[in-house]
Structure 1
Amino acid sequence: MSIGSHADFSYYEQIFGRNPERYRRVLHLLQEELSDYFQSIRQSYLQGDAQGLRRNIHRLNPQLDMLQLSALRQSIDELGRTTTASMHVKDQLSSNLHQCFVQLQDDIARKIAQLSSEPTT
C-alpha cells in the first residue's frame, strides 16, 4: 500500500488561492476529516465490517481524488476486498494504511505551514 506521491493541492489552490486564511482553515478541516475517515476505515477493516468499510471508503474517495492520490485510493479500495483476511494480514495492511495517512497528514501540514509563512495581502 502506498500513497503513490505527495498530495497535489492545485484543486484547492484554484478555489482558495487568493484567500490564504480561508485556505488554511479549509486544510485544517480537511486534516480533521481525513483523520476521522481513516480511523473509521481502520476500525471497520479490523472488525471485518465490509459494509461500514465500503461506506467510509465511498465518503473518503472524493477527497483523495481532489488531492490527486489515485494510488492511495486504489490501495484503500483493495482493503474492501480483503475483509476476510487473517488477523496477521489485517494488522499489516492496517499498519501500511496508517503510514500512508501519516504521510498525507504531513503533506497537508507542510502546505499549511507554507501558507502561514506567505505574506497576506
Structure 2
Amino acid sequence: MSGKLWPKVSVIWLNYNSIHAIDIAFKSLEAVANLNYPNFELIIVDNGSTDGSAQIIEKIVYEKLRSKMNVKFVRLKRNLGFTGGNNIGYRLKDPDSKYIMLTHNDVIPYPKSLRLLVEF
C-alpha cells in the first residue's frame, strides 16, 4: 500500500469477567496498542462483567492507552453475548472506518496482523 492512505479500521475488543486471566487481557491490550498499523481506533466493550475486571481494564485504558491511541470504552449493564457486545462496538465505530476487526480479551495479535489483513 505504498503511496496510498491506510484505510481506517475499528478494532472491537470484547471483555467479559476476565479477572481469572487478567494478565492475558493486559497482554492482549498491549498487543493491540502495538499493532503496526497507522490508522485504527480501539473500541473496548465490557459485556456486563461482575468480577471487577471492567474497572481494572478501564484504569489501564485511561492510564496507559489513551495517550497512545484513540480508545473508546463502554461498560454494558448486562452480558449481551458475543454478537450483542460486538454490535454495540460497531455502533460506536468511527463513521470513516472502512474495516472492522473483532477480537477479545484472550487474543494476542501479532504486530503485523492488522496490516496483513487490510492488505489481503
TM-score for the superposition, normalised by structure 2: 0.32
Greater helix content: 1
TM-score for the superposition, normalised by structure 1: 0.32
